[in-house]
Structure 1
Amino acid sequence: MLNISNSAKKPTLIIGIILSVVLPFLAIYFSVLIKKLGIDNETQFYISRFAIWISLLLLYLFALKIEKQPFLLWGETEYSFLSFAKAVFITFLKLFIAVFLTGLIIMLFKITEESTVLNKAMALFKKSYLLLFFTCVTAGITEELIFRGYLLPRLELALKNKKMAIVVSSVLFGFLHFGYGTLLNVIGPIVIGLVFAIQYDQYRNIKILILCHFLWDLMLLSAKTR
């Protein structure tokens, strides 16, 4: 684990935290830069998803070559199949309850603005289930590895406060989605990030979060495209 008491490693820790936010941000909005090339929307979307995988690779290389530390600072706890399935079910249930309660609050405050960007994405997903599936796989794996697996433990080291690290990582995760253009599309991911961060701290197994994230997105996007 990184020893931030060593002043020589403090800058490396901070740089890694910054990169874990900046790289996926640049990857997601990379499509904005290639619109002028005349590439169709579906291809642009694929390119932006592949760019996120590249950002994960760059972050992995940074951890390996610059930090000289494991990408996942928290060692993976192994579970039996039944224990793993139970953890997935509990995490999914907590996620559903948290999102449901958040939805009630949003309805109370009448936040109903729709995202034009998200609607365009839904139109693409209706035409290509492969794109929808690839998007869910990409989000589940890359976002969990970056924001929970990589960022959360390092924020805890930098802030020396577990609860603050959970909150900050979740807020950063939420603002990664601000490009959708609505407050709702930021609040939702913040809540989801909080649930996943808490569960990762409890179970110390990133695969649980990856599977839950993938299933949640697949369920939600499939429902919307119908």
Structure 2
Amino acid sequence: MIRAFQVSLPVLVILNLNREPWAKFGFVRFSWRVDVPAGLLIWMCALAGYIAVISLVPVSLIPVADTDDAVRWAKPAGLLGGCLVLAVSVANGFAEELVMRGYLLTRFERLLHSTPLAVLVTTALFASYHVYQGPAGLIHAAAVGLIYGTIYSFQRRLWPVCIAHAIADIVGTLS
């Protein structure tokens, strides 16, 4: 959770100093009726996209997790553990989407003069954040990043992709 704040705070300061409208970076008024259902729908699309992509990869290319991974990804216990998973997932989802979609995708669009290219670049960066998760995690991050980036580039709302990311982190942690 500390890392999420370390990532978010400098970007928020840059956005504030930049004097551009926050809406340009996807910060629009949060709407429970719009953003929560959209986030859930985006998460389901990303999950379906990952399943479609991973089904094309030969099983022999995806190594079996070792016991160190099982220990590192131990399931949380009790109400406190569940609340911690929720808090960390929301903070992480916000931080990564703020940087990848809200800030970098918007900036790469201007630099590259191409939204599709900006989506591909941010997808590659997003996937590189997840290399530590192994081949399956890398494939998952690439598929999810492509879907999040594409949807964000049409919607220009940061909240739904943050919600989708938080749901993905919660489900990934608890499953």
Instruction: Note closer, same or farther for the CA distance 1:138–1:81 as it changes in structure 2 (3 Å cut).
Output: closer
State the AA in 2 paired with 1:94: C
Q: How many positions carry a matched residue from both structures?
A: 173
1:140 equivalent among 80, 93, 117: 93
Structure 2 residue 16 is matched with structure 1 residue 95: no
Which SS does the other structure have where 1:73 is aligned? helix
- 1:114 aligns with 65
- 1:149 aligns with 102
1:6-61 per-residue CA deviation (whole Å, 9 max, x = no partner) reads xxxxxxxxxxxxxxxxxxxxxxxxxxxxxxxxxxxxxxxxxxx3033122101221
- 2:24 aligns with 73
- Bigger drift between 68-77 and 165-174 goes to 68-77
Instruction: Note closer, same or farther for the CA distance 1:194–1:81 as it changes in structure 2 (3 Å cut).
Output: same
Measured on the aligned residues, the alpha-carbon RMSD in Å equals 2.7
Contact map agreement 1:174 1:189 (CA 8 A) in 2: yes
Structure 2 residue 137 is matched with structure 1 residue 185: yes
Deviation at 1:90, TM superposition (A): 3.3
Runs of 4+ in 1 over 6 A off after TM superposition: none
Deviation at 1:93, TM superposition (A): 2.8
Supply the distance in 1 between the matched residues of 2:93 and 2:104 (Cα, whole angstroms).
15
**Structure 1 unaligned runs (5+)?**
1-48
- 2:76 aligns with 125
State the AA in 1 paired with 2:57: I
Supply the distance in 2 between the matched residues of 1:187 and 1:75 (Cα, whole angstroms).
26
Contact map agreement 2:92 2:166 (CA 8 A) in 1: yes
Contact map agreement 1:53 1:142 (CA 8 A) in 2: yes
Q: More relative contact order in 1 or in 2 (CA 8 Å, sep 6+)?
A: 2
1:79-128 per-residue CA deviation (whole Å, 9 max, x = no partner) reads 87554455334323311210111221234554134266643331263583
Instruction: Note closer, same or farther for the CA distance 1:110–1:212 as it changes in structure 2 (3 Å cut).
Output: same
Supply the distance in 2 between the matched residues of 1:69 and 1:165 (Cα, whole angstroms).
19
**Which structure has the larger Rg over C-alpha atoms?**
1
**Structure 2 unaligned runs (5+)?**
none
Supply the distance in 1 between the matched residues of 2:66 and 2:159 (Cα, whole angstroms).
30
Structure 2 residue 47 is matched with structure 1 residue 104: no
Which SS does the other structure have where 1:133 is aligned? helix
Instruction: Note closer, same or farther for the CA distance 1:115–1:53 as it changes in structure 2 (3 Å cut).
Output: farther
Which SS does the other structure have where 1:173 is aligned? helix
% identical equivalent positions: 20
Instruction: Note closer, same or farther for the CA distance 1:133–1:83 as it changes in structure 2 (3 Å cut).
Output: closer
2:113 equivalent among 155, 160, 163: 160
State the TM-score, normalized to the length of structure 2. Answer: 0.82
Supply the distance in 1 between the matched residues of 2:158 and 2:66 (Cα, whole angstroms).
30
1:146-188 per-residue CA deviation (whole Å, 9 max, x = no partner) reads 11111111011111111110011011011012233x2222221
Instruction: Note closer, same or farther for the CA distance 1:124–1:94 as it changes in structure 2 (3 Å cut).
Output: closer
